Each structure stands twice: as structure tokens, then as C-alpha cells.
Amino acid sequence: MKAWSLLLLRASTGLYLIIWGVIKVAAKDKAIGVSNKYYDGVINGDLANYGLGILEIVVGICVVLGLFRKYSYPLQAVIYLVGLAAIAPYIIDPFGFYIASEQKVTFFPSTTLFFASLVTLAFKSDDTRVLEKS
């Protein structure tokens, strides 16, 4: 049961990375809008979005398949941590009472993605439904 649970956890977090990677590659206007609003425009260039999109797709595929886990699992956690840091005011104040400029309760599940990434790291040795040879 643990191995199947880890597989499903990996699949969901990895697929989410793939989805956002595809958005960065295929829907640049959407990605640039997100960058401008939540990352102060730091990654709003076409090349930056394209590169990050490809990286997210590759890492997401590796996570889903359980490949290069020594690198893909920590990279996934870092990607989610950076995303979480960018929306920290909405995580700390999801109702927009004190810190956040508006209510964004829908951002709160981003914590789950990050913590799920930590779980995949913590239980990597129990994660046996992978393509990578141990």
C-alpha cells in the first residue's frame, strides 16, 4: 500500500509540474502574466519562461516515472518552494485580512505540493514502483 501511495503522490505532483511547464512553453502570455503579478516580472522573458517550462516538464516526467530520483525529487521540492515563497503573503493570510492584498484561498494547496515533495524525499527508499534501477 505504501509503494502505491507514493506512486500516486509522485504522479500527482509530477503531473502538476508538467502542466505548468506546458503553460510556460505553450501559453507564454499566461506565464508572463503570472510572473508579472507574483514574481515581480523576474521571469517574464520568453527565453526564461521557455527554459523554466522545459525544466519543469523534464523534472515532472522524471518524478512521475521515478527516474533520476537523487536529482528530480529535490528539484521538484525546490521548484515548489520557490513558487510557495512567491505567494507567501497569500499562504500566511489566505483571506487577505492583514498581509495579502486580496483573498486567494485557492493558493493554499500549494503548501500541499511542497509537503508532498518532502514526503517523496523522506520515503524515497520505500518508493519501489519506479523505473529507476536501485
pLDDT digits (tens, 9 = 90+) for 40-62: 766 777 777 889 999 999 999 99
How far apart (Å, rounded) are the C-alpha atoms in residues 66 and 60?
Answer: 10
Contacts of 103 by beta carbon, 8 Å cutoff, 6+ apart: 94, 95, 96
Report residue 27 as a C-alpha cell. Answer: 501559453
Task: Give pLDDT tens digits for 7-37.
Answer: 999 999 999 999 999 988 988 777 777 777 7
pTM: 0.90
Buried-state track 118-133, b at ≥16 Cβ within 10 A, e below 16: ebbeeeeeebeebeee
Angle at 72 between CA 68 and CA 77, to 5 degrees: 155
Least confident piece of the model among 14-18, 44-48, 78-82, 83-87: 44-48
- Name which residue leads in pLDDT, 33 or 132: 132
Lowest mean pLDDT among 26-40, 70-84, 102-116: 26-40
pLDDT at 41: 67
What is the per-residue pLDDT for 134? 64
d(CA 4, CA 36): 39
Of 34-48, 61-75, 106-120, least confident by mean pLDDT is 34-48
- Average pLDDT (92-117) is 94
